[in-house]
Amino acid sequence: METRRLLLAFVLSLAVIAIWYTIFPPARSKPPEPPPAAAPKAVPAPGAAPAVPGAAAPSQPSQPAVTQAPAPVPVSAAAEEKITLQSGRVRAVLTNRGAQLLSLVVPEKSDPKSGTLEMVRQRAGIAYPYSLTANGVQPSPLNQALFQAERAPDGRSATFRYSGPLGTAEKTFRFDDKGLLAVDVRVPGRSDWGVLLGPGVRNPTTEEMKSRYERRRGVYRKGDDVEGPDPGGAFDPIEVSGSALAWAGLDDTYYLAAQVPQGKIDRAVFWPMLVQTSEKGGTEQFQPVPGKDDITREQKGLPREFFLILRPAGDQMSLVSYWGPKEYDLLHALRNGLEGTIDLGSLKPLVLPLLYALHWIYDRVVANYGWAIVLLTIVIKVLLLPLTHKSTMSMRKMQELNPRVQAIRDRYRSKLRDKQGKPNLEAQRKMNEETMAVYKEAGVNPAGGCLPMVIQLPILYAFYRLLSTAVDLRLAPWLGWIHDLSAADPYLVLPIVMGATQFLQVRMGPQAGDPMQRRLFQIMPVAMTVFFLGVPSGLVLYWLTNNVLTIIQLQVYNRLKEREA
C-alpha cells in the first residue's frame, strides 16, 4: 500500500514539472554576435612579444570573458629574397627562406691590405648556418618558410618573422660596434629546437683538406679549459652541457667561427659528418658518419667535419658570434678567452715573445715576413753567441784529445766482452773513468758540443708552433717562388738547400766525441732534410738562416785557428 502511494506521488511530481515547463519555458540565451572584421595589425617591433596561441583576452566589465584567443595573425613573405648586411669589410648575405646565413665575407687578416675570405662552407642539399633543427640534426620545417624581412636603415641589422602552417619564429641579425654578428632566435612556446652551425669553416682546397698542418675541429670553453674535439676519429655525437659553457664553435688552423651565448643554453652538440669534395675544392656532399661496424674502407679515408648544434634552455636564444682569423691580439682583445683556440703548445711563454718580435720587425723594419724571420734568426743567434762560442771551443779541445781517448778505447776493446760474448761491466766502467779523467784534466765537458743543439730545440719547437699556427704567415710571400710562408716549398728547393748547409756545417765543425756521436752528427743532415720536406717554408727559412750563420761562425774560428798555428 505504501509503495503504491510513493509511486503515485512520484508520477504526479513528474507531471507537474512537465506541465510547468510547457506553460512557462526558460528564456533561451542569444547566440554570440560575430566580431567585426579586424583591421590589419602592424608587424611588432624587434623584441616585442607576439601573441601567444591559446592565451585568453582580458575580460571587459560589460562583456562576458573570452575563453579562447584568436589564432595568431599569419606573417610571411610572398617570394624569396636576399638581404645584405654590411659592417666595414664584413658582409653578410641572408635569405628570408628560413632566415639563414648564405654568405659571410670577412677580412683574411686585420691588416687593411689583406684580401677577404668566404667563411660559409659551400654545400648541396643541406641547411645553412643559423637554420633550425628538430630532433638530432633533422631540419625544422621552418627552414622552408618564407620569413617577412625588415631591414634597418643603417644596413647593419635585419629582423625576420614568420607565423603560419609551418610554425612561428623570429630571428634578428645585427652587427655590433666591434663587427661581431649578434643573433637572436625565438620560437614561441617551443624548446625542442636548436640552431645549426657549420659544417666547418671557410672552403679549404683539396690540398688543404689533405694537409696534416690544416687541422679542423670543434672547440669550446668550460671554465678555464679550452677543448678541441677532433672529428677525425669521432663516430657518435659529442654533447657538452650548457652549464658553465662560455662559448662553442668550429675552427681550423687559421680561422674560427665561435658562438658566445648571452645567457644560459641547454647544451652544445658536435655531430661528425663525412665530407666529399670536388676537384676544385668546393664541398659537394656531407653525410653522417656510419657506426664503427658499418663504415666502409672508402668512407674511412674521407675527411670529416663537425656540425655544431646549440640547444636552448627555453624558447629563445641569443648569441654573439666571431667569424674571422685567429690572430692572437685580435682574439685577446675580445676578453672571452677565444685566443685559447690558437694552439701554441706547452712553450707558450716562449712562443708569444717570438710572435711579438716578429710583428715588431714586420711593422717597423721590413714589411716582409720572410725577411722578418731572417732578421729575428740573426737576433737569436747573436743572443746565443756566448753559449755557442763556449761550446765550439769545448768541441775543439775534445778534438785535440781524440788521440788519447782513442788509445784508451783501443786498450780496452778486447776486454769489453768475456769469452761468452757477455758485456764486461767492470772493464767498461774503468774505460769510462779513464776517459772522463782525460776530459777533466783538460777542463772539457763531453756534453758541451751537444749543448747548443739542446738549447736550440725549444726555440725550433717554438718557431714550429708559431709558424704553423700564425695566420699572419698565411699567404705571406718571401721572394721568388715562395708565395706562402705557411705552406711547404712546392719545388723543395728550400729543404734541399737547408740539408746541404746542414751537411756543410757538420763537415766544418770539430770532429769530436766518440764514433757513435760523430756518426749521429753525420746522419743528422739527411734526417733533417727529410723532416723539413713538408713543413711550412717559414720554418725551413729559419733553420736555413741559422745554418748559414753557423757556417760563417765556424769559418771565422777556422781562420783564427790557422793564424794561431
Do 208 and 214 touch, CB atoms closer than 8 A? yes
In contact, 508 and 522? CB cutoff 8 Å? no
| Pairwise pLDDT comparison (1 vs 502), residue with the higher score | 502
Planar angle of CA 111, 112, 115, nearest 5 degrees: 90
The answer, yes or no, to whether residue 33 has pLDDT greater than 90, is no
pLDDT band for position 515 (cuts 50, 70, 90): low
In the predicted structure, residue 443 carries a pLDDT above the cut 80:
no
Residue 132 has pLDDT above 80, yes or no: yes
What is the per-residue pLDDT for 313? Answer: 93
Closest CA to 534 of 207, 211, 206: 211
pLDDT in tens, 154-165: 999 999 999 999
Instruction: Flag whether pLDDT at 39 surpasses 50.
Output: no
Domain 82-343 matching CATH 2.70.98: the answer reads yes
Give the model's pLDDT for residue 35: 36
* pLDDT at residue 211, rounded to an integer: 83
Distance CA 446, CA 514 (A): 9
Work out the average pLDDT over 297-307: 92
If you count DSSP H runs as helices and E runs as strands, how many of each does the chain have, helices first? 12, 19
In the chain, where the domains are located: 82-343, 353-402+446-564
Residue 175 has pLDDT above 80, yes or no: yes
Residue 528 buriedness (CB in 10 A; 0-12 / 13-18 / 19+): middle
**Angle 451-469/348-364 helices, nearest 10 degrees?**
70
- Written as one string, the DSSP assignment of 148-206 is EEEE-TTSSEEEEEEEETTEEEEEEEEE-TTS-EEEEEE-TT--S-EEEE-SSSS---H
Q: What is the mean pLDDT of residues 54-59?
A: 35
Residues 6+ apart with CB under 8 A from 190: 167, 315
* The three cell numbers locating residue 540: 725551413
- The C-alpha cell 656531407 sits at 286
Has residue 136 got a pLDDT over 90? no
Identify the residue with better confidence: 401 or 18.
401
Residue 283 has pLDDT above 60, yes or no: no
In 1-89, the DSSP E strands lie at: 82-87
The answer on pLDDT for 104 being more than 90 is: yes
Report whether pLDDT(101) > 90.
yes
- Those residues with Cβ within 8 angstroms of residue 301's Cβ, 6 or more apart along the chain or in another chain: none
Lowest mean pLDDT among 50-64, 273-287, 327-341: 50-64
231 touches 304 (CB < 8 A): yes
**Alpha-carbon distances, residue 312 vs 170, 184, 237, 245, 425 (angstroms):** 14, 11, 17, 13, 70
| Confidence (pLDDT) at 427 | 86
Give 477's DSSP letter.
-
